[in-house]
Amino acid sequence: MQTFHLISDCLRPLSRRPLPDCLNAVRRFLSVTAAAVAGLLPVMLLSSPAQAMNCEALRAAEGAQTISVHCGGAPSATFDKNNDVWVAFVSDLHVYVSHSQDKGTSFSAPVRVNAVPEDAEFNGENRPKIIVADDGTVLLSWTKKTSNRFTGEIRFSRSTDGGRSFEEPRTINDDGLAIGHRFDSLFLTESGKLFVTWIDKRDLEASLARSENYPGAAIYYTVSDDLGASFIPNVRVAHNSCECCRIAVAAHGDDDVAILWRQIFGEQIRDHAIAVLGHDGSVSDFSRATVDNWQIDACPHHGPTMVPASSADQYHMSWFSAGTIHSGIHYARYDLASAASSDIIKIDGTPGAGHPSLATFDGTLYLVWKGFDGVSTPLQLMLSHDEGRSWSTPQTLITTDQASDHPLLITSSDGVYLSWASAQHGYVFKELSHD
């Protein structure tokens, strides 16, 4: 493997570049025509027409600078203990937070998190994360892109006044290096331990400096037991992770978490590994969670999803692979004690299918993913009532023939909800469990 000139690249200063002038002309053009187009666009298959406001229509009605969940980059959502919905998204170099008291039908005016503009990453695998603790503290993490050479910092902020204002963002990676720290995940345990995990290139850079080979990157994490007031020093979970796939995090007991990530096995097999991370900074040895045999020296940009199963130490997993053993989206249930998977099931093998999200509620397992049939993107849903042993036939929740985000499933104390953004439908927040 060659060195990609990473160290020199990340020292190169990169300035923010102004928008091309012609963009403003296009915006003006669209704002004139969008009103006419808007009436044709929101052909919703879902039953809640109140959400059928896409960004284009919204900005035509309320101005081109409108900040809204419907215009936000890569939104993610969570419930607070009152079952209000909180959404974080990126708009114009700021992370914003907005909340809803009517399950996503209407949203509060967005509040800016970072006062100083910064390049918060937002795409399918990289998005701001949000959790609201039981005491109302709003917790956020995201990745700040610091160059175009895959460098970044893991950022954290919180609000202790119910989301009215946010603390100045802090950088969570503690190496002080202008290298890659990206693909953050955020998780709060039942007992209030706050975990941040991410993909880190400090070990890669150190190896390159010694002219040694280092496949991939590494997984790191930190924990806070005071809701983000302080964090323990960064802890390495594993060397040689894949560089560009989101990390799935799930509860392991009340205090700890299990994480699932794409790991490089051998020289270039990019399957998945699972490990348990302790709130005290202890890390279990990782085990191989999927055996797909995907030999690829490339960037899949396709991370897994994982939720706890009803038996202790068992996890429902769904992931994507193009390996020789498994290709397409798969489901399996992994048992930490025996280090074995059962009920490995191919969910969708078509090449356009990807980005699964899992949730459990009231004994039912929900799996949503994105398809593509050559023309449009259907969001597909499958259910299992027996812990993943058998599944319903897929049903299409909604379809778009425009750009769309990855679908996410969000669980509250009363149900499972779809969180999904698309150019056509705007931001859709929709209950799945009572249909």
- Chain residues binding another protein by CB under 8 A are 1-2, 4-6, 17-23, 25-27, 29-30, 55-56, 71-74, 91, 122-124, 148, 150, 243-244, 268, 295-302, 320, 322, 351-352, 354, 372, 374-375, 377, 401-406, 421-423
- Partnered with residue 345 across adjacent β-strands are 331
Q: Any idea what DSSP says for residue 389?
A: S
- Partnered with residue 409 across adjacent β-strands are 418
Instruction: Closer to another protein by CB, 302 or 430: give it.
Output: 302
Instruction: Closer to another protein by CB, 293 or 295: give it.
Output: 295
Instruction: Closer to another protein by CB, 75 or 278: give it.
Output: 75
Rounded to 5°, the CA angle 283-284-286 comes to: 115
CB of 39 to another protein, least distance (A): 18
CB of 424 to another protein, least distance (A): 10
CB of 118 to another protein, least distance (A): 14
CB of 246 to another protein, least distance (A): 12
Tokens of 170: 């802090």
- Of 264, 265, 148, the closest CA to residue 217 belongs to 264
Tokens of 74: 């890569």
Instruction: Closer to another protein by CB, 110 or 300: give it.
Output: 300
Instruction: Closer to another protein by CB, 8 or 83: give it.
Output: 8
CB of 210 to another protein, least distance (A): 19
Rounded to 5°, the CA angle 74-159-83 comes to: 70
Q: Any idea what DSSP says for residue 386?
A: S
- Distance, in Å, from the CA atom of 246 to the CA atom of 198, rounded to the nearest integer, reads 8
- Distance, in Å, from the CA atom of 112 to the CA atom of 274, rounded to the nearest integer, reads 35
Neighbours of 414 (CB within 10 A): 14
CB of 72 to another protein, least distance (A): 8
Is 29 in a helix, a strand, or coil? helix
Instruction: Closer to another protein by CB, 51 or 404: give it.
Output: 404
C-beta separation of 66 from 426 below 8 A: no
- Distance, in Å, from the CA atom of 367 to the CA atom of 347, rounded to the nearest integer, reads 9
CB of 268 to another protein, least distance (A): 7
Please give the C-alpha separations between residue 141 and each of 68, 71, 95, 367, 395, in angstroms, as whole numbers: 19, 20, 10, 25, 33
- For 322, residues 6+ apart whose C-beta sits below 8 A from its C-beta are 294, 296, 300, 328
CB of 360 to another protein, least distance (A): 26
Instruction: Closer to another protein by CB, 14 or 383: give it.
Output: 14
Instruction: Closer to another protein by CB, 198 or 361: give it.
Output: 198
